[in-house]
A and B are shown apart, each in its own frame.
Chain A
Amino acid sequence: MAQTVRAATAAAVTQTQPDVELRQVFKTFGADLAVRQLDLAVQPGEFFSILGPSGCGKTTTLRLIAGFETPTAGDVLIQGANVSAVPAHRRPVNTVFQSYALFDHMTVKDNIAFGLKIRHLAAAQVRDRVGDALRLVRLEPMANRYPAQLSGGQQQRVALARALVNRPAVMLLDEPLGALDQKLRKQMQVELTTLHRQLGITFIMVTHDQEEALALSDRIAVMNNGQIEQIGTPSDIYDRPHTPFVADFIGDTNLLPGRIDEAHPAQVRVTTESGLRVLARAGNMSSNQAVVVSVRPEKINLSLGAAGGNGNCYQGQVSHLMYLGTHLHCIVRLSSGESLTVRQPNRADTPIAVDTPVYVHWAADDCLALEAA
């Protein structure tokens, strides 16, 4: 079922022309390979995130699209036109920088008008569009202030308005919320999605915050070591990771390395290095293949007695317990020696304490065997 839905989306994807496309893009700095073999297509109107740990090449990827870097090999296409050799100032994209890079010798109004004035728009038109942009980010009272007189959140909104006012084909956002505190971040996340919906412009955002990427994006590209590990919707990435790296980077997970004993079309039986036998969901895999089984902490259930059924059930002991309000975060040490992280909803009937002997169990469908890296 899910497969047919994805196939249909894929068909739709090939019909429309992507707003941004990278084809076999490589970028080296001296002897360092910053990104390699990037292939991605961002559809018009999409909120696309590039997610990865620091140094994975995600910012370089964004700078390649913006035109601040030229690819060592491969092509960058914007709305079907090859812009690999087009300098930044002639590309129909606008960037929101992590540092905001506001011009602090200009007022808020002049900052926002900069792009329009450079393009020699009529004064009346500049005034109207700057006014609209100020309204959009709710900064009208601040129009004549200087950036240094604004709070971090307000500066961030000026940076957004300065980019938006030019009506770019694509908005590029480099860790746009990275400099804000937790509460403001959440608030700006909502504002970003609202803006995206109102404007219908393609957004490409770089972030290292997986929660932010999951919350905001239509699709996410997970990068590691200069390469794309997986591109997919947030639920694809979270529920159906392709690699152990993606499973580990997005959300929390328990990774159990092992080998396949028995391979069936959609399910495999794995013996882990410690001797645990685990039933797991899997794609096309063959016997004796080295795999890593990934099971999310919230998919694991705890009980005092052994569970029936044909899922995975093991005996262990609670070794650590953290009370997180909405959840209990436990570490369970299995008799086989492994430690599993388990997340239990905080209910009155969870009689768990440290050193309680417990059973952990989860359905075969709730864990995934991934090809070992």
Chain B
Amino acid sequence: MRPNSSAPQPDPTHPPIPLMPRLTWPSLFTALMYAFMYFPIIVLGVYSFNDSRYSASWDGFSLRWYRALFSDRRLLSALQDSLTIAVVAVAISAVLGTLMAIGLARYRFRGKALYRGVSYLPLIIPDIAIAVATLVFLVSMAVPLSLATIIAAHMVFCLAYIAVVVSSRLQRLDPNLEEAALDLGATPTQAMIQVLIPQLAPAIFAGCLLAFVLSMDDLLISSFTAGGGANPLPIEIFSRVRTGVKPDINALSVVLILGSALLAGLAEYVRYRSDRIRQST
């Protein structure tokens, strides 16, 4: 006899999910944490639509700062510089970083562990050290500072980030894949282009995105390696806010945040779609 057999038992596999979360300590902490992270950004976003020149008062809704932003030639050319630097540095790093990861994973040679450690070092070294070292090197070699020197300096960390992300994917990949391609008659180059690279594509894409965002964001290394001609966006913004924050910078920040959110969303969508194609039945 089981005395409780008729009483309704909670189903352990499907615990009831309350529709409205009750106010508990964990939910309160969660709310506080999100407020801590995103409140400044929300304030910034709201004030970018403020008609007033000063952040202290709210004079009504306006798009004037966005209009000012898009007619500011200096700002637009700074954005263009930043995009040029990021795109070129990431593109070159994507190729080199991927090859570096494959080389470090696939071949056995003397001092491999040391080589691997050294190649990821830019992730650990403080940016200021890279910036100073690059400047000292460029000056001592009498290389004139320009857009090209910023690109070269950005490649240092872009390369390391892309190589790290691609390496971690490579380690989870079936080591027989390349051999299978060779076995079916592909030359080593064909095997790499037709089998290995497509398998690594999501990781290469993710690494590029990370490197792109870091490059767009970089102030320190750029400011040490920029000559008179180049003026990337972070440097431009920094030089403007030193004389006080104007609402057009708020508007610019909102544009930048939306841009990166769009990029991250796109990356997530690509990842989701490729997963769905490969895993749904």
**Which residues does A use to contact B, with CB under 8 Å?**
66-68, 87-90, 93-95, 97-99, 101-105, 114-115, 118-119, 146-149, 162-163, 166
Cβ A94 vs Cβ B184 within 8 A: yes
Asked if A115 meets B195 with Cβ closer than 8 Å, knowing A99-B176, A101-B174, the reply is no
Shortest beta-carbon distance from B172 to chain A in Å: 12
Task: Give which listed residue, B176, B185, B188, B279, contacts A101 with CB less than 8 A.
Answer: B176
Shortest beta-carbon distance from A100 to chain B in Å: 8
Chain B residues positioned under 8 Å from A105 (CB to CB):
198-199, 201, 278
Chain A residues positioned under 8 Å from B185 (CB to CB):
89-90, 115, 118-119, 166
Cβ B277 vs Cβ A146 within 8 A: yes
* A359 to B279 Cα, complex, angstroms: 61
Chain A residues positioned under 8 Å from B188 (CB to CB):
89
**Which B239-281 residues sit within 8 Å CB-CB of chain A?**
277-281
Residue from B182, B188, B195, B198 having most chain A Cβ neighbours under 10 A: B182
* A98 to B179 Cα, complex, angstroms: 12
Residue from B177, B183, B186 having most chain A Cβ neighbours under 10 A: B183
The residue in chain B whose Cβ has the minimal distance to the Cβ of A149 is B281
The residue in chain B whose Cβ has the minimal distance to the Cβ of A115 is B184
**Which B165-218 residues sit within 8 Å CB-CB of chain A?**
174, 176-177, 179-188, 190-191, 194-195, 198-199, 201
The residue in chain A whose Cβ has the minimal distance to the Cβ of B185 is A118
Chain B residues positioned under 8 Å from A66 (CB to CB):
179, 183
Shortest beta-carbon distance from B274 to chain A in Å: 8
Chain A residues positioned under 8 Å from B198 (CB to CB):
103, 105
Cβ B280 vs Cβ A94 within 8 A: no
Asked if A104 meets B278 with Cβ closer than 8 Å, knowing A88-B179, A97-B176, the reply is yes
Chain A residues positioned under 8 Å from B181 (CB to CB):
103, 114
Asked if A89 meets B183 with Cβ closer than 8 Å, knowing A97-B176, A101-B174, the reply is yes
* A93 to B194 Cα, complex, angstroms: 20
Cβ A88 vs Cβ B199 within 8 A: no
Residue from A67, A88, A147 having most chain B Cβ neighbours under 10 A: A88
Asked if A89 meets B195 with Cβ closer than 8 Å, knowing A97-B179, A103-B180, A148-B279, the reply is no
Cβ B183 vs Cβ A94 within 8 A: yes
Task: Give which listed residue, B187, B199, B279, contacts A89 with CB less than 8 A.
Answer: B187
Asked if A95 meets B180 with Cβ closer than 8 Å, knowing A89-B187, A105-B199, A119-B185, the reply is yes
Chain B residues positioned under 8 Å from A104 (CB to CB):
199, 278
Shortest beta-carbon distance from A71 to chain B in Å: 17
The residue in chain B whose Cβ has the minimal distance to the Cβ of A112 is B184
Shortest beta-carbon distance from B231 to chain A in Å: 42
Cβ A88 vs Cβ B281 within 8 A: no
Shortest beta-carbon distance from B201 to chain A in Å: 8
**Which residues does B use to contact A, with CB under 8 Å?**
174, 176-177, 179-188, 190-191, 194-195, 198-199, 201, 277-281
Chain A residues positioned under 8 Å from B177 (CB to CB):
101, 103
Cβ B180 vs Cβ A101 within 8 A: yes
Chain B residues positioned under 8 Å from A148 (CB to CB):
278-279
Chain A residues positioned under 8 Å from B184 (CB to CB):
89, 94, 114-115, 118, 162-163, 166
A89-B188, A95-B183, A103-B195 known, 16 other contacts, Cβ within 8 Å: A88-B182, A90-B185, A94-B184, A97-B176, A101-B174, A103-B177, A103-B181, A103-B198, A103-B199, A105-B201, A105-B278, A115-B185, A118-B184, A118-B185, A162-B180, A162-B184
* A294 to B278 Cα, complex, angstroms: 53
Shortest beta-carbon distance from B182 to chain A in Å: 4
Shortest beta-carbon distance from B6 to chain A in Å: 41
The residue in chain B whose Cβ has the minimal distance to the Cβ of A159 is B180
* A105 to B187 Cα, complex, angstroms: 19
* A163 to B198 Cα, complex, angstroms: 21
* A219 to B191 Cα, complex, angstroms: 34
The residue in chain A whose Cβ has the minimal distance to the Cβ of B199 is A105
Shortest beta-carbon distance from A366 to chain B in Å: 44
* A338 to B266 Cα, complex, angstroms: 73
Chain A residues positioned under 8 Å from B194 (CB to CB):
114
Chain B residues positioned under 8 Å from A146 (CB to CB):
277-278
Shortest beta-carbon distance from A307 to chain B in Å: 56
* A166 to B201 Cα, complex, angstroms: 28
Q: List 20 A-B contacts (CB under 8 A).
A: A66-B179, A68-B182, A87-B182, A89-B183, A97-B179, A98-B176, A101-B179, A102-B180, A103-B177, A103-B181, A103-B198, A104-B278, A105-B201, A114-B186, A114-B194, A118-B184, A118-B190, A149-B279, A162-B180, A166-B185
Shortest beta-carbon distance from B225 to chain A in Å: 39
